[in-house]
Structure 1
Amino acid sequence: MNGPEEVRARLEETGYLVDDGLAVACFLALRLHRPLFCEGDAGVGKTALAAALAEALGAPLIRLQCHEGIDASQALYDWDFPRQLLHLRAVEAAGTVDADRLESELYDRRFLIARPLLRALETCPSVLLIDEIDRADDEFEAFLLELLSEFSVTVPELGTVRAQVPPVVVLTSNRTREVHDALKRRCLYHWFDHPDFARELAIVRRRLPGVSEKLAEQVTSLVQTLRSADLLKPPGVAETIDWAEALDALGAREVDAELGLATLGSVLKYREDAERARGLLPAALRGA
């Protein structure tokens, strides 16, 4: 892509709306082959960005979902032990066992299970989404830093696998803990904030074109109001879309207090937040 404006246009064709800062960050990530580190609250569009980039580039999206305790074998590769065992038994049944030859056969590429990181190195082009890196531990961060620096990995039995062209890498963090500076320095950084009313409304209208204009405006306004309240988990754009979609599925053309309260589970996921919203919603609806 030739510049940020082209990146913006290509992403908007997929239905993903970006501001100037994000368009520049995406362009630089593509041009410089640098990972893009996306940080912000849940539901603000970090993961969706990776999917939009994959669609815009016509490349497969390869996703690594991080979690506590994830290690290199889960992220990189593993050996297919059941298939190796079947091969071993077949060779033994044939009665021709050459130990050295058998060992080389057991660790042939056909028995290797490529996990997301290895698949991304071997697939060109590709978009690699490393989702919720803040859930992984320090050791995995260190391993990931080395891999993203060289875009290569060594499989002892097979040799070095190096990406011909580095994948487009998007890392996301919900900031449940601080990710180490060493990994952040390797990446371009973009903070995802909640959008203002106009941009959020445009996102809802783009994602849900069949929803009435009045309903989209009311839902967006209500979510903006809820975010300003003292909630345990303020709703993201994803929840705004979910709420509008739920109300539309019920045949609503606009929000009334009864229907809004009945569908709060689409937008708020904590009992305490829902209870607080029940006191705010009627007054917010009068102003929406």
Structure 2
Amino acid sequence: MTGDGFSEVTESDLRAVFDDQQYVAEDDIVTTVLLALRMGKPLLVEGEPGAGKTELAKVLAAGFETDLVRLQCYEGLAAENALYEWNYTKQLLAIQSGEGGVADDDSVFDESYLLSRPLLEALSGDGERPPVLLVDEVDRADEEFEALLLELLSDFQVSIPELGTVEAATPPVVILTSNRTRGLSDALKRRCLYLYVDPPSAEKERAIVERKVPELDEGIAADLCGVTQRLRDRPLRKRPGLAETLDWAEALTVLDGEDGRLSVETARRTLGCLLKDAEDVERVDDDELASLLAEVHGES
């Protein structure tokens, strides 16, 4: 692997990064990410909230020791917030002072007056390795913003009318995430490789908890993962994701006096770490928790 990009990264390199960053990745994740890196293609990652989509970009940036440039999408996201905008205050002061005004034929539309936003910043990276560009929750942005992304994802360049075209010397690694709140355009999908992240199996979830929260008692880890898996099958308003499982696991390490097994009382007191909706918390009462824990204990 060289500073020119990721075209030489191997499967063993990638697995080593995942292991070092304590990211549990099945073969399909490893293969798809490897192809995206080797082919220089953007990667669209879809899945339930809390499934680890954003974490994937963070892991790649940290593991390959490069910058993470994050663009958080939202409804109404405009070009000036994603690409660039001009520093109008600085331009005005330059004109008034005569330092860069019309009088001396200089332009106030040059790079010294340009404010780079995440997309342009990712193209202009000058580090040893290209950055990882995370376009997070792209489904929350408008269709107009998708159109803005097409040039960048096709040619890794953007057009600035006053300056011309800015092209990446080495394309960044691009990870787009979506919670599937709306469908994305075919044009956007065609430019990307695709990965769907399923909710973790019981075995994977427990492995992740043991890696991320190693100080948690093994028996309690088994109990909380078992309860979480069963709650995902209940008619909840907001099913818990992996992020909530890790929150719950970390919370249980803070409390004293819990050893070997998760009690109904402790589960009740800390349930707000796992369930993030008032109706769901009320629905899972002590009797339900006792039943869920009995099922888990009966299987272990």
Query: Would you call these one fold, judging by a TM-score over 0.5?
Result: yes
Name the counterpart of 1:287: 295
Mapping of 1:210-221 within 5 angstroms?
A: 210-221=215-226
Name the counterpart of 1:204: 209
Change beyond 3 A, Cα 1:285–1:31:
same
Q: CA deviation at 1:272?
A: 1.6
Name the counterpart of 1:55: 62
Query: What SS does the aligned partner of 2:98 have?
Result: helix
Name the counterpart of 2:96: 89
8 Å Cα contact 2:49-2:179 kept in structure 1: yes
Structure with more of its chain in helix, by fraction:
1
Which structure 2 segments of 5+ residues have no match? Answer: 1-7
TM-score, normalising length: structure 1: 0.94
Name the counterpart of 1:120: 122
Name the counterpart of 2:73: 66
Mapping of 1:1-288 within 5 angstroms?
A: 1-91=8-98, 98-99=102-103, 101-102=105-106, 104=107, 106-124=108-126, 125-251=130-256, 252-253=258-259, 254-278=261-285, 279-288=287-296
Distance 2:42 2:207 in 1: 28
8 Å Cα contact 2:61-2:68 kept in structure 1: yes
Distance 2:65 2:253 in 1: 32
8 Å Cα contact 1:153-1:161 kept in structure 2: yes
Bigger Cα displacement from structure 2, 44-53 vs 243-252: 243-252
8 Å Cα contact 1:8-1:17 kept in structure 2: no
Q: How many residues align?
A: 283
CA RMSD, aligned part only? 1.6
8 Å Cα contact 1:246-1:266 kept in structure 2: yes
Q: Give the percent of matched residue pairs that are identical in Structure 1 and Structure 2.
A: 48
Counterpart residue identity of residue 119, structure 1? E
CA distances 1:250-288 after superposition (whole Å, capped 9, x unpaired)? 123342111111111111111121122225211111222
Counterpart residue identity of residue 116, structure 1? P
8 Å Cα contact 1:39-1:173 kept in structure 2: yes
8 Å Cα contact 1:5-1:23 kept in structure 2: no
Which structure 1 segments of 5+ residues have no match? Answer: none
Distance 1:230 1:97 in 2: 65
TM-score, normalising length: structure 2: 0.90
